[in-house]
Homo-oligomer: A and B are copies of this chain.
C-alpha cells in the first residue's frame, strides 16, 4: 500500500462528488467523460475486463488480444485506456504487461454511487 501517488493516480483521481450529489462542473465533466468514453467501446471494454480479471492483476498483450480485431487495433485501444488513466503498462523482457491503474475503479465507482449510499 501507499505508493507515493503516481502520475496515473493524479490523472485518475481528479474528481469530485458523486454525480448524484451536485451538478458536475464544466471542466470536471470533460475529464470524467474521457474516462467513461474509454469504456464506451466494446473492444476496449473487453480488453479492460480481460486485464482486470487476470490472475495476478496483470496480463501481457498476447494473453488478452483475442478480441476479434487486428493487433494494431488492439494496441490502439490499449493506448486509449492508458491515456484515460485506467490502465498502466510495463515492459518486461519481450512482453508488455498491463494492469489496472490503482484508483481507477474506485474513482468511477464512487462517481456512480447510488443516492443513499
**A: which residues have CB within 8 A of B?**
19-24, 26, 29-30, 32-34, 36-46, 48-50, 52-53, 57, 68, 100, 105-106, 108-109, 112-115
Contact = CB atoms under 8 A, between A and B. Distances in A.
Contacts of A37: 36-37, 40-41
Would you list the 6 A-B pairs with minimal beta carbon distance, nearest first? A37-B40, A36-B39, A24-B49, A40-B40, A109-B112, A29-B42
Number of copies: 2
Contacts of A36: 36-37, 39-40, 45
Contacts of A21: 53
Given A19-B48, A33-B42, A105-B115, 5 more contacts: A20-B100, A36-B36, A36-B40, A109-B109, A112-B112
